[in-house]
Amino acid sequence: MKSKNYLIISLIGLALFLLTLFFVTSGITSGLDSWINQNFYSNGGLFTEFILVFNIFMNEYFLIAVSLVVFGLLIYFKKFKEAVFFIFVLVFAGIVGLNLKELIQHSRPENSLIIRGGFSFPSGHVLMLSVFLFLIFYLLRKEIKTIWINYLVFSAGIFFLGIVIVNRIYLRFHWFSDVFASVFLGIFLTCLSIFIFENYIAGLSK
């Protein structure tokens, strides 16, 4: 993909994020959010057990551990610029997400299955996983030229992201609008970072 396309995609992601933010802060999405919050749940059963078990393992420590493994592999294969870029974007996205939570102060659903503190918008888990996966797609696409492998990795990543989105909504940790705004924000931050990396950093001499 040409670098200018990353800039275009980042601007689309930003526009969708800002539009969702406007809808959330103005109360336009409150009806839809409340309806999904009340109806997207099955009292007990195997699916609920799966979601609860999945939530135990899919936490910030898991993502940090996997990110450090990826960072180590990039260093091992002497991809030093990519390694620094990878970690920097993840840390930056985390800082942006935390600051937006404190700035917007959108309350979490009061009927969460597991009590959680803090604010709801955006979803830190969905934001960080989105950025992580988009970075992985980008880095692998540069190294692996086999199309079907790229599609396989992309499909598996999107499927996993979908499970996390369902997890956050199903456990009522977040509103529907929170998680999709987080994906849009992740697209914006990642694609803008890739555009800057390819145009101003990757070409620098070692």
Q: Return the structure tokens found at 167.
A: 């997890």
**What ranges in the chain are assigned the alpha helix state H?**
3-25, 30-39, 46-57, 60-76, 80-104, 124-143, 147-170, 176-196
What integer pLDDT is reported at residue 56 of this predicted model?
Answer: 75
79 pLDDT above the threshold of 60: yes
What integer pLDDT is reported at residue 42 of this predicted model?
Answer: 63
Residue 102 and residue 66: Cα distance in Å, rounded?
A: 27
**Taking the CB of residue 185, how many other CB atoms lie within 10 A of it?**
27
**pLDDT tens, position by position, 116-134:** 778 889 888 899 999 999 9
Average pLDDT, the chain: 86
Q: Name the residue type at position 81.
A: K
pLDDT, mean of residues 27-35? 90
* Nearest residue to 120 via CA among 57, 193, 29: 29
**Taking the CB of residue 139, how many other CB atoms lie within 10 A of it?**
19
Q: Return the structure tokens found at 105.
A: 């102060």
What integer pLDDT is reported at residue 16 of this predicted model?
Answer: 96
pLDDT, mean of residues 92-117? 86
Share of the chain above pLDDT 90, in %: 43
205 pLDDT above the threshold of 60: no
73 pLDDT above the threshold of 60: yes
What integer pLDDT is reported at residue 206 of this predicted model?
Answer: 47
Residue 129 and residue 136: Cα distance in Å, rounded?
A: 10
Whole-prediction pTM: 0.87
Residue 114 and residue 32: Cα distance in Å, rounded?
A: 22
Q: Name the residue type at position 27.
A: G
**Taking the CB of residue 8, how many other CB atoms lie within 10 A of it?**
12
**pLDDT tens, position by position, 34-64:** 988 888 766 666 777 777 777 777 777 888 9
Sequence-separated (6 or more) residues with CB below 8 Å from residue 13: 184, 185, 186, 187, 188, 191
Q: Which residue has the tokens 């692998």?
A: 140
Cis peptide before 122 (omega within 30 of 0): yes
Residue 143 and residue 38: Cα distance in Å, rounded?
A: 45
Cβ 180 vs Cβ 130: under 8 Å: no
**pLDDT tens, position by position, 149-200:** 888 888 988 988 888 888 888 888 888 999 999 999 999 999 999 999 988 7
